[in-house]
Amino acid sequence: MNTDITRRPLFAAHPYFDTKKAWVLLWSHKQGLLHIKRLHDMFMNHMRAYHEDRNLEYIPLLIGDREAIDAAADVIRPTLHARYDAKQAFNHSAIPYSQLPEGVSRP
């Protein structure tokens, strides 16, 4: 019997909703960063985490089309910027948020 739940369909067929076309905005409290990925990929990652009995760092904040997700991320980033820099204020070896690589702060 195949117990790999990540290979099974996650959703019944639906004529109007395709998880491969929807996007999700994820947030990491620990890292203070955002991540953007397709909803399908997020669910697959969650199913693998369940199967492997491990924790996940990123939590979903918003589901929508890519334009809405990018707009929401742009609104949220200044708050993350301020939080990140405040947490790193006494860590003199930390990289300021504004100098993080583009792929880290803006997926």
pLDDT at 105: 47
pLDDT at 32: 84
How is residue 53 written in tokens?
A: 């009995």
Please give the share of the chain, as a percent, with pLDDT higher than 90.
45
pLDDT at 96: 78
Spans in the chain with pLDDT lower than 50: 1, 105-107
User: Torsion over CA of 28, 32, 34 and 35, rounded to 10 degrees?
Assistant: -50
Closest CA relative to residue 74, chosen from 29, 25, 38: 25
pLDDT at 106: 41
pLDDT at 27: 95
pLDDT in tens, 25-45: 999 988 888 999 999 999 899
